[in-house]
Structure 1
């Protein structure tokens, strides 16, 4: 009977895992199978090792677009894609729409902005690092910059009068005080810049609207502008641990930028997504999880809801899905960067805050199976995930949707047990009775523990 339960559980998990992570929107292809080039700088290597131990981070996409509750930046892109469709005022003609979109600057006033609330909620959820969109593809700078007036601190923006107008600095300070690693997302393309989308040649796609070889001076102005803005972030915002570049289609020589960044911020991790391997310190699958263990550092960025940016009617993933997502990623040697899009008033959606609180409850009991661990073979097998640290191994059981309670007996796929092996369930101190079988160990779980640990997103067996 026990074997039958185990086989049914394996089948249900296979179906669950196949359906767990669905793409919220069409994304660019992931190039994680390319050869990973490990950095040679010892400071970078040290920082990556520390980052890998943290496992769980917060991503935030925030900009003027939150006022309309639309996709971030992409509705400006003149491509016929599902995620570039225009909604909102003057959506008929592209030029009129772009003007209306950029006019959102004049009404952006998130007076409820309080990054300490975010930092505390993220910390309670067990998150350890943050990546914030300092500038997305639309070109609106969420930091104080002297190189464009299209920014949150410019006089055209109502929030510029607020003492906390430099939201990037405020966010970095608030999270830094909570010992988070600090990450700056920065879009290389800038769809507001006349030196990227030159209005003389209306854009046809996401790339620059002119031939850079024919107009080298214009392209040089744009790359200098990019360098200068990144330098502002590297010199005026305290310690920055991670520089997360997006927009690989704006291909440029990254060597001067990375050299400058590492001069100002020694050891900074650089992620030039889909760029040259030397500047991709870890790979970044988006809205999906690799099917198997990957030996190099990697991070998947996934939305808590369906969208990167704030939408009032967003549909948020259940807590069970989110916790199992984290466990799955960690067992495959990755980190999870979970996205929340703040709203136009500067607050998170109520449901997002509730989800973080529930994740935190699980993490406070089971976090030792996540932080500072390494996966061990077979990494992921059916409903099981395998991690370890210097003293213990953790076999995490990911229940199917219809599994609310642990059975009285469960086959745990531990193949190398001995008479000295001790097995516990995290959340309890009682040593569990087990017997060796052909396929592992059969663990007996007392009714009181079954009741105590009822309806958990993941159950973790600690083996010593």
Structure 2
């Protein structure tokens, strides 16, 4: 985009860019994104390696100097061409997304490290000029859309303000010749979450030009902004929303944002690694990582959460009117760890059986029942989540009862679900051809299940014909 507002002062009119979540987003429920960048080369600790390697005494710094050399002789830029992407295959990534059951997906478009994962004319530090020498964003957008996957672009580049500032005065980030890689030298305090010195106009202009370029080249169906976007001037944030929604006609597009980085109502509110304890009247999103440690990227000896953990998390989020955007980080060569693939396949297997209780659903009047804490990973057959669609209510049990009998108090005749069942009501176990018997008492709905489980991890009862 060539900005015609460059020398003008814009007064943000946020009422012009109010946008409700489109139907496709509300229906999708589950997405994937992929943290992949030069930080995937050292694969040490997490994706903040690019920043922490420059702070003397931190684990990343000690490891870096022992493994690669001093910060003067070997800086972050020297990882670029080690990220060769030799096994990257956008079609294989699309296959993985489809197999996982995710309905929207995309690679991290730019992390905090000034490395653009697209064919950029705005930023010479990109995946076409360095590393894989390929347009990762473009290839994924094309491959994903061929498979019916909505495409999301995620931006984290507001973090670049102060990101690389080092406690080592000899670090390569202070060499003026490297400014294109790391940005200008700034006071150390600019790497604080909310710095005293906010980004200048030059930085904000580059920040928005990158987003404009991605919108123009790839027309993302959703744009995700990481936290700290609040440090970008209000005019720039408004110009992005106005351009995306109004000037380029993305009437089905949506922006997701964190905290109070954008005004309420201009997109979908996102919670990082968390969720609401109660059902919300508005659609929202939780982004979290498959990795079972404090990382969003590939690391040495990675560990992954179980499929049961993710499935339970997804059911809880969907019951509360949210979507789950799950991260999986590939190796530097663009391939995925076999265990990550295995878990994603297992999630997809569950959704292939039970997806009718997830996709296109809306919240039931009660979201949850059970003794477990809302954020607990230890859920049992006494814990339930509820959704509904087209007059059908779904009760999702988070475990299989030892006596093959579910007892759902929410759906008793006097329960908060206010569901009245009669002889015309039909109850079935999704994925099973065996009949179930049931009785609705005043305080509880009792359902006798067959002996054979139709799947693993969580079990869905389909309830038709209940009057509420």
TM-score bin, normalised by smaller chain: 0.7 to 0.9
Q: 2:318 aligns with which of 307, 327, 330?
A: 330
Structure 2: distance between partners of 1:252 and 1:243: 18
Q: 1:59 to 1:392 in 2, by over 3 A?
A: same
Q: 1:299 aligns with which of 270, 279, 285?
A: 285
Deviations 1:331-355 (A, max 9, x none): 1111011110011111011111111
Structure 2: distance between partners of 1:284 and 1:311: 25
RMSD, matched Cα:
3.1
Gaps of 5+ in 1: 1-37, 213-217
Question: Is residue 141–residue 150 contact of structure 1 (8 Å, CA) maintained in 2?
Answer: yes
Gaps of 5+ in 2: 1-13, 165-177, 371-382, 413-419
Q: 1:159 to 1:443 in 2, by over 3 A?
A: closer
Q: Structure 1 residue 381 and structure 2 residue 362: aligned?
A: no
Question: 3-state DSSP class of the match of 2:348?
Answer: helix
Deviations 1:251-296 (A, max 9, x none): 3221122222232252221224231324751111111222221222
Structure 2: distance between partners of 1:130 and 1:386: 25
Q: 1:40 to 1:460 in 2, by over 3 A?
A: farther
Structure 1 residue 182, shift from structure 2 partner = 1.0
Structure 1: distance between partners of 2:118 and 2:131: 14
Matched residue, 1:142? 117
Q: 1:335 to 1:229 in 2, by over 3 A?
A: same
Question: Is residue 435–residue 442 contact of structure 1 (8 Å, CA) maintained in 2?
Answer: yes
Deviations 1:169-207 (A, max 9, x none): 111111111111111111223246959853164555246
Question: 3-state DSSP class of the match of 2:368?
Answer: strand
Question: Is residue 234–residue 240 contact of structure 1 (8 Å, CA) maintained in 2?
Answer: yes
Structure 1: distance between partners of 2:41 and 2:68: 20
Matched residue, 2:229? 248
Q: 1:117 to 1:235 in 2, by over 3 A?
A: same
Q: Which has the higher contact order (CA 8 A, sep 6+)?
A: 1
Structure 2: distance between partners of 1:273 and 1:221: 24
Question: Is residue 241–residue 265 contact of structure 1 (8 Å, CA) maintained in 2?
Answer: no
Q: 1:145 to 1:408 in 2, by over 3 A?
A: closer
Question: Is residue 376–residue 386 contact of structure 1 (8 Å, CA) maintained in 2?
Answer: yes
TM-score by length of 1: 0.79
Q: 2:403 aligns with which of 398, 403, 407?
A: 407
Matched residue, 1:426? 430
Question: 3-state DSSP class of the match of 1:284?
Answer: strand
Q: 1:198 aligns with which of 152, 161, 184?
A: 184
Structure 2: distance between partners of 1:198 and 1:100: 15
Question: Is residue 197–residue 209 contact of structure 1 (8 Å, CA) maintained in 2?
Answer: no
Matched residue, 2:461? 461
Structure 1 residue 82, shift from structure 2 partner = 12
Matched residue, 2:336? 348
Structure 2: distance between partners of 1:64 and 1:385: 40
Matched residue, 1:441? 445
Question: Is residue 112–residue 159 contact of structure 2 (8 Å, CA) maintained in 1?
Answer: yes
Structure 2: distance between partners of 1:77 and 1:183: 28
Q: Structure 1 residue 66 and structure 2 residue 29: aligned?
A: no
Q: Structure 1 residue 159 and structure 2 residue 132: aligned?
A: yes
Q: 1:105 to 1:419 in 2, by over 3 A?
A: same
